[in-house]
Structure 1
Amino acid sequence: MRDRSRIQTLPSPHPYWNRLCRVLWGCTWLVLFRPSPRPFHGWRRWLLRLFGAQVAKEAHPYPTARIWAPWNLTMNEGSCLGDHVDCYCVDRVTLEPYATVSQYSFLCTASHDYAHPNRPIITAPISIGRRAWVAADAFIGPGVTIGEGAVVGARASVFRQVDPWTVVGGNPARVIRKYHLEREEP
């Protein structure tokens, strides 16, 4: 059996206001955000802004997307958080214009320092570049930047930066190929 007598219990790394706001947000998500009809993106954008998110007019947050702390979320024009996306935004999460995060994906900005006996929380921001696509059920780890136009394949686990216009897949994600657009659209 492991000797836990030397492990010190630390106070929460989250200040009181943060915990209170997350409780209020959790209730709001459960009562007003989650049950909203699918096409009511404007209503959900307004609720996210109410809690400090920076959300562009044409962003598309879907009703089943879970957002841990809206005040750490930025969604630019045309960006999308799909159904059942888990956005664990202890640190900043930024979706650049027209970035898409598909269903069941997990954006994780926090982990724990496994080398420390108390395993304190460590955080790093995530950035999803312009026109990038995170396909279904992918995992994006802390500190990852997905470059412009990059594609993260379904069920991939990304722990390092993905270069622009690159397709990656697998666990851990590896480069599959580079590509370019045939024609430019808005």
Structure 2
Amino acid sequence: MTEQDAKLIDANSATSGASPQIRVGKDDCPSPHSLGNKFGRVVWGIAWLLLFRPSPRLCHGWRRLLLTCFGADIGRNVRIDPSVRIWAPWNLTLGDESAIGHHVDCYNVARITLGAHATVSQYSFLCTASHAVTDPHMRLISSPITIEDQAWVCADVFVGPGITIGTGGVAAARAVVTRDVPPWVIVAGHPATDLKRRVLSGPQEA
């Protein structure tokens, strides 16, 4: 619990004479999602189960087509593993030659954007939404995630709402990214902190 949360609880207790009550029932917390959003996710869930998930691993073009049909903005030669979970394809932008590895979870209540040649490795969780911990109804809050050109999210990384990983940045394996990653910087740890600069070796293309 943060100091701000503790102060809010103290203030609520002082005004009400009792601890504030969390109310997360359906009547207290109506869904923020429209009927159209819910229907679209049902249809997409069926398509994912029957057409996306069973597709052979090398059929990237087929999965690109399916995602495009559901509103995703897909660049050239994008590679997406069939086990990738995508909450809302219409909130997904993938740049040219970007890649998403197996069992990545894209919880894109808000938009997730990958730049050109960006990579998200296996078992990572891109989470654009959470709940307001100081709200008695724990309302849903969301903010987009941007992974810029040539950035790399390594295996089993958590990327939180509103995060931007700058051009060429790297989140090392199992990092918990709760703040923006500067361009060409490698971060690691829980929470992720700057480790060192990413310096490319060898000849570079023009």
Which interval holds the TM-score relative to the shorter structure? over 0.9
Q: Return 5+ residue gaps in structure 1 as ranges.
A: none
Partner of 1:63: 82
Partner of 2:65: 46
Q: Return 5+ residue gaps in structure 2 as ranges.
A: 1-18
Q: Structure 2: how far apart are the matches of 1:100 and 1:5? A: 39
Per mean C-alpha deviation after superposition, the further-off stretch among 10-19 and 174-183 is 174-183
1:20-169 matches, within 5 Å, as 20-169=39-188
Q: Which amino acid aligns with 1:128?
A: I
Q: Which amino acid aligns with 1:14?
A: H
SS in 1 for 2:187: strand
Shift of residue 184 of structure 1?
A: 2.1
**Aligned residues: percent identity?**
52
**Cα-to-partner distance string for 1:98-147 (whole Å, 9 max, x where unaligned):** 00000000000000000010000000000001110000000000000001
Asked whether 1:19 is paired with 2:38, we answer: yes
Greater C-alpha Rg: 2
Report the TM-score when normalising by structure 1.
0.95
Provide runs of 4+ in structure 1 moved above 4 Å: 2-8
Aligned residues of 2:22 and 2:136 also touching (Cα < 8 A): no
- The structure with more helix, counted as a fraction of residues: 2
Q: Structure 1: how far apart are the matches of 2:23 and 2:127? A: 30
Report the TM-score when normalising by structure 2.
0.86
Asked whether 1:184 is paired with 2:204, we answer: yes
Cα 1:19–1:174 change in 2 (3 A) is same
Q: Structure 1: how far apart are the matches of 2:38 and 2:140? A: 15
Cα 1:5–1:119 change in 2 (3 A) is closer
Q: CA RMSD in A?
A: 1.6
